[in-house]
Structure 1
């Protein structure tokens, strides 16, 4: 049951170490991080407050390192419970992760023999089936509705890890990794909770390690790069991408996976203002997709293909000021997107609206933005709404035009406004 008084162990350790307030500990952690070789770490009082709550989240690896350094105790002694439950942590020194990547934390030991409570081999298959179903539902079900069951399935899998062995345990771990990855995607792209997404993706990496799935590890690490990349922290994002590429080399990475890694890095570079580098990466990704290779694309990699690469390319060209080329790329993406890619379609329409505004075509821009809003009314996607708002800002010179006022009526009608505030 939740501790009604919060995480008393952490509070006691903090006080004993001389940090009388949560803010004092946050400041001390931020200052201590560089001395431990951790760059770009900034801890706020809100984060410390969450750790001292009745249900503290499992800290990220860099946070763990600083906490244990300052307070002189292990994570479980500080009142934290690993994502896998209160089990003895396995030594993870042999699982080295490249600098800048979230390192695995406390993991449940793989039983040397069958655990006391075992489940049949079908359990692994059933866990994979549920993860597969959630993966398909993501494209059409409201993210706020899907998030809870996806996270619940991941936590159920964590329990089953200590009650399974052999290939069954590996299948359960694979399902857990995919579920945590999907939950992290929802938290970052749909719910706009990057801090929470970072914690969830760390759990996904731990599970991928249990499954010994380096390609899933590469996918998780690349998703972690979005977090600093979107915040403009280029060096940190680049380090995460080095880690992702390192993991990809350990497995039979398909051309699609390798091209997606290029696309992720390109988006991070674009967000950090380095569009020339981003365009080079997009060109390399196109070459990879065109050449292909003998390796099959993982089933879970359902968020990328030639259509998505065209959308990535159009966005980079837009940010680089290559508006005519961006329009061409975005129109190609719209033609290629399959019917079930409604979320991505909102993003493409939003970018197309911004392109048309930049070209001085307010009517066409408003038409594209309204098409994005039509889709957002059916399937909400925070990233898509962000692109529509970017387009509206680009339309500021025509704010008194009838088409822009009609767009505002759509953008700020009762349903859209309440939905945006609620989410």
Structure 2
């Protein structure tokens, strides 16, 4: 967007703050308060001093920074609600703020959704459940009044809501998904406290474990690492009485997030070992295959070739023999395993084998839901081509990965892109690397690019 428009947006943000008589610290405290109401824990726990620095960047006319989606929501709430008064109509501070967001690049669909969210939230008692559909909101409101009486129908509705959000990973910004999931996470926590027995209790535990696991993954994507670790612990606790394959599923997700948030293979390996034990005790060949594939990756990263190929052999044995009735059917399969084996060969210096396996994996993972995994495999394939002596082909393929990373806004593809780009340093004066750098900047690094 034109710089004069961005500078004018920064001036308007300052004017809105000053119109309320707020200092930067006052606005920071208002954002903290909004985050507590909306259960956005990472911002609720952010210091006033840190938020003041963030607000200053938004209002800097020289080089203004647009508020991210999470902060858009919090600012919208803060400027819509003043004590017991709510103003969201034409000419209100809230309405003017929506125009600022539009000037800073927010889409019309995003503005419409934000208006609807805040209007619903601010006009119905400041209840977090206002983010949910009317039917689910009413059902949960009754259930939370008397948690011990929660019905299987309400839990099924909650499970469907969580599953619908999970299906949107890769298609919606993670900050938006985090806000959308927050009421379900909070409802699961409150309902679990009543410790319902029987089938309803089991289904609630399963729904809660799934919600907490997804919340942990999303927290990682938006760099809330402490919250991610805590949500994984809650997911494991909720899954305590569930079949062991479900705990293994949580552990495999936790292991990958641990690997990329701590960059520690030993820390991730400890979690993988637990996942393998849980998976081996289960009746799910799919989950055993996934756990063994992850074990193979950790071994390959540690240059333990024999352990890596032993684990891969076990993973292929389970993938080849699994039946459609597997309780974890659809969560893992040959396409994914080809990618793991390709990555293992890449770490172990077997570039030719890696390239063919990663090519097959990329061809197999064609579903829109697999966009993040496709981005990861694409970066791995680019690295294989580079190590096989084709730097220009690697850079060309990495353009596809940049597009996928920009579309999904997932962190792991961006990490993988950075790894390949570092290995392209020897060709930094070549035009194909310059073109790649321009694409990376425009799609991933430029203000408003994600």
Q: TM-score, normalised by structure 1?
A: 0.66
Aligned partner of 1:296 in structure 2 is 326
C-alpha distance in structure 1 between counterparts of 2:350 and 2:313, whole Å? 15
Aligned partner of 2:358 in structure 1 is 330
* C-alpha contact 1:269 1:277 (8 A) present in aligned 2: yes
Q: Which moved more, 1:385-394 or 1:156-165?
A: 156-165
Question: What are the within-5 Å matches in structure 2 for residues 70-219 of structure 1?
Answer: 118-163=149-194, 164-188=196-220, 190-209=221-240, 211-219=241-249
Structure 1 segments (4+ residues) deviating >6 Å: 50-53, 419-422
Deviations 1:17-57 (A, max 9, x none): xxxxxxxxxxxxxxxxxxxxxxxxxxxxxxxxx7999xxxx
Cα 1:405–1:229 change in 2 (3 A) is closer
Aligned partner of 2:377 in structure 1 is 348
SS at match of 2:149: coil
SS at match of 1:412: helix
Aligned partner of 2:401 in structure 1 is 372
Structure 2 runs not aligned, ≥5 long: 1-28, 30-44, 49-145
CA shift for structure 1 position 140: 1.9
C-alpha distance in structure 1 between counterparts of 2:161 and 2:147, whole Å? 25
* C-alpha contact 1:315 1:351 (8 A) present in aligned 2: yes
Q: Which moved more, 1:357-366 or 1:143-152?
A: 143-152
Cα 1:418–1:322 change in 2 (3 A) is same
CA shift for structure 1 position 187: 2.9
Aligned partner of 2:317 in structure 1 is 287
CA shift for structure 1 position 232: 6.1
Q: Provide the aligned length of Structure 1 versus Structure 2.
A: 308
C-alpha distance in structure 1 between counterparts of 2:289 and 2:448, whole Å? 33
Aligned partner of 1:401 in structure 2 is 430
Aligned partner of 1:269 in structure 2 is 299
CA shift for structure 1 position 274: 2.9
* C-alpha contact 2:375 2:413 (8 A) present in aligned 1: yes
* C-alpha contact 2:258 2:267 (8 A) present in aligned 1: yes
CA shift for structure 1 position 205: 0.8
SS at match of 1:297: coil
CA shift for structure 1 position 420: 9.9
* C-alpha contact 1:123 1:168 (8 A) present in aligned 2: no
User: Which of 224, 242, 260 is the aligned partner of 2:290?
Assistant: 260
SS at match of 1:257: helix
Structure 1 runs not aligned, ≥5 long: 5-49, 54-114
C-alpha distance in structure 2 between counterparts of 1:327 and 1:172, whole Å? 44
Deviations 1:290-344 (A, max 9, x none): 1225851326x63x22111111111111111111111101100111012311111
* C-alpha contact 1:362 1:404 (8 A) present in aligned 2: no
C-alpha distance in structure 2 between counterparts of 1:179 and 1:392, whole Å? 35
Q: TM-score, normalised by structure 2?
A: 0.62
Q: Which moved more, 1:223-232 or 1:116-125?
A: 223-232
* C-alpha contact 1:225 1:237 (8 A) present in aligned 2: yes
CA shift for structure 1 position 270: 3.1
User: Which of 237, 260, 272 is the aligned partner of 1:241?
Assistant: 272
